[in-house]
Amino acid sequence: MIYDPILNLHSGTDEDSEFMPLFSIDEEDESNIQEDFPEELPVLALKNTVLFPGIVIPITVGRNKSIKAIQKAFQDQKIIAVLSQKDSRIESPKSTDLFTVGTIARIVKLLKMPDGTTTAILQGRRRFRLVEMTQEQPYMTARVAMVKHEDSENDLEFEALISTITDTARRIIELSPNIPAEANLVLRNITNNLFLLNFIASNLSLKVAVKQEILEINPINQKARMILIQLENELQVLELKDQIENKVRGDIEKQQRDYYLNQQLKTIQEELGHNPQEEEIDRLMERSTFKKWSEKVAKHFDKELNRLRRMNPQVAEYSVQLNYLDLVLDLPWDDVTTDNFDLKKVKKILDEDHHGLEKVKERILEHLSVLKLKGDMKAPILCLVGPPGVGKTSLGRSIAMASAGNMSAYHWVACMMSQRSVDTAKPISAPCPVGLSSQ
C-alpha cells in the first residue's frame, strides 16, 4: 500500500516514531548524478526499511555503532553508505547480516531530539554494491562500487508500463482510507520516470526483502514490472475490502431503516390502541384453550408463551419462537379418527392413485389385513424407503385417505415415516423404485 504522506520508519533504534517521507525537489535521475563519492564510506544499517535514490527520509538513530557512523560521516563529507538488515531482530549486525546492495545517502541534517536520541535526515543519491567490509568497530566502514540501471530497449513498452503504474497508484490512493487525496498531486508533479519508480517502491507497504529485491533490479523495465505486480496485488486487496465495506454498510443501513420504520409503525399502532404483539399472544392463548392436551404439555406451552411475551419483536428469535408455538398448536393433540379397514376400498384407492407398484401395494394390504385381524393396533410400523420423487409421500396420503377418510391421519403417517426411517430399515425386493419394510 502506498503510504504517501505518513510512513512508519525504523532504523537502528528501539523507538517507534512516525515520519513523513519526502523527496528531492529537483528529481535528479540517479544515473545522471555527476558527484564523486569516496570508495570507502561509513555504513549505516537500517532495520525495517530500504532507502531508495531520490527519497529523503528521517531516521532515528539509537545504536552506538550507528551514532558513531553518522557523526563520522557528518564531520567529513556528509556521505554515508546505507544498507538494510536481513533480520531486523539483530541488534548488532555484522557484514553477513546486511544486504550487499544499498544506497549512498547524503546527510541533510542531524537533529538532537528532546529524549536524547539523534534523528538524521537522509537523502538517497545512488545505488552501490558492497565490495568489502573494511571495519566493524567502533563503527562499520566499507569499500563500495556504484551500480547503474540498464536502460530500456523498448521505449514504447517502458512508457506504457509507467502510464499503467501511475494509473494504478492513483486508483490505490482513491480507495485507501489511509492516503490523503493530495497524494495525487504529488504523482502528477513527478516527471522523472526512474524517480517515480523509486518513490512508489519506497512507499509501498512491503516486506524489507521485497523492497530490497526491487532496489537490486538493474534492468529498468524489469523493475517497473515488479513494482506494477505489487501495485496490482494491493489494488485487488483494496477493491475487495471496498466491496465488503459497501455490502456491510448497505446491510447496516437497511437494518437501521427497517428498525426506524418498525418503530414508527409501532408508535402509530399504539396511538390507535393496537398492539400487534399482544394481539398475537392473545390469539395463541385463545387457540390453546381448545386443545386436549395433558397438564405437562399445557405447562410447557405456557412457559414458552411467557418467553415469547418477554422477547423484543425486532429480534430474529421472536419469529422463531412464534413459529414454534404455532406448530405446537397445529399438532393434532388427542384428535383421533375411526379406522376403516375396508380392504376393497383401500385397494381401489391405491390402484386409482398409483399405477404399478404392485408389490408395494400388496405389502400395504397385508399390513392392514393383520391390523384388522388383531384389532389391538400393536403392529410394526411401515417404513417407505426410496429416493425423492418415487411416491413415498403420495402412498402415505393414499393410506390415510383410505383408512381414515381425512388428511389428519396423513399428517401423522408422514411425520411417523420421517422420524422412524432409519438406516436399519430393509426395503422389500421389488422391481420398482419404492421399497417398503416393517420396523
Looking up cell 379418527 gives 337
pLDDT given for residue 117 in this prediction: 78
How many other CB atoms sit within 10 Å of the CB of residue 160? 12
Q: Is residue 217 part of a domain?
A: no
Q: Does the pTM exceed 0.85? A: no
- 141 and 40 both lie in a single domain: yes
Q: Is residue 158 part of a domain?
A: no
How many other CB atoms sit within 10 Å of the CB of residue 282? 11
- 141 and 16 both lie in a single domain: yes
- 28 and 132 both lie in a single domain: yes
Q: Is residue 401 part of a domain?
A: yes
Q: Is residue 321 part of a domain?
A: yes
Boundaries of domain holding 413:
343-438
Domain harbouring 418, CATH code: 3.40.50.300
**Distance in angstroms between the alpha carbons of the first and the last residue of the chain:** 66
Total domains in the chain come to: 3
How many other CB atoms sit within 10 Å of the CB of residue 179? 20
Of 203, 58, 42, which is closest to residue 123 (Cα–Cα)? 58
- Give 412's contacts (C-beta < 8 A, 6+ positions apart): 332, 400
- 386 and 411 both lie in a single domain: yes
- 373 and 432 both lie in a single domain: yes
Q: Is residue 260 part of a domain?
A: no
- 11 and 141 both lie in a single domain: yes
Q: Could you give the CA distance from residue 139 to residue 136 in angstroms, rounded to a whole number?
A: 5
Domain harbouring 68, CATH code: 2.30.130.40
- 97 and 132 both lie in a single domain: yes
- 365 and 322 both lie in a single domain: no
pLDDT given for residue 31 in this prediction: 55
Backbone angles phi, psi at 269, to 5 degrees: -65, -35
Q: Could you give the CA distance from residue 185 to residue 191 in angstroms, rounded to a whole number?
A: 12
- 21 and 122 both lie in a single domain: yes
Report residue 228 as a C-alpha cell: 506494477
- 19 and 99 both lie in a single domain: yes
- Indicate the burial class of 293 (C-beta count within 10 angstroms; 0-12, 13-18, 19 or more): middle
- 373 and 300 both lie in a single domain: no
Q: Is residue 349 part of a domain?
A: yes
Instruction: Report in angstroms the alpha-carbon separations of 226 from 10, 158, 179, 265.
Output: 24, 13, 22, 59
Q: What is the mean pLDDT of each run of 10 residues along the chain (439 residues)?
A: 36 37 50 72 89 90 87 88 89 88 91 82 91 88 89 86 90 82 81 88 87 91 92 90 85 80 74 72 83 84 85 81 86 70 79 80 82 69 77 78 56 40 35 38
Backbone dihedral region of 93: left (phi > 0), alpha (psi from -120 to 50 degrees) or beta?
beta
Q: Is residue 227 part of a domain?
A: no
Peptide bond into 138 cis (omega under 30): yes
Q: Is residue 79 part of a domain?
A: yes
pLDDT given for residue 267 in this prediction: 76
Q: Give alpha helix (H) positions in 138-219.
A: 155-175, 183-189, 193-203, 208-216
Beta strand residue intervals within 210-309, DSSP E: none
Q: Could you give the CA distance from residue 123 to residue 106 in angstroms, rounded to a whole number?
A: 5
Within a 13 Å sphere around the CA of 232, how many CA atoms are in the beta-carbon half?
8
- 352 and 418 both lie in a single domain: yes
Choose one of 288, 303, 330: the last residue of a domain: 330
- CA angle, 174 then 179 then 184, to 5°: 60
Report residue 171 as a C-alpha cell: 486508483
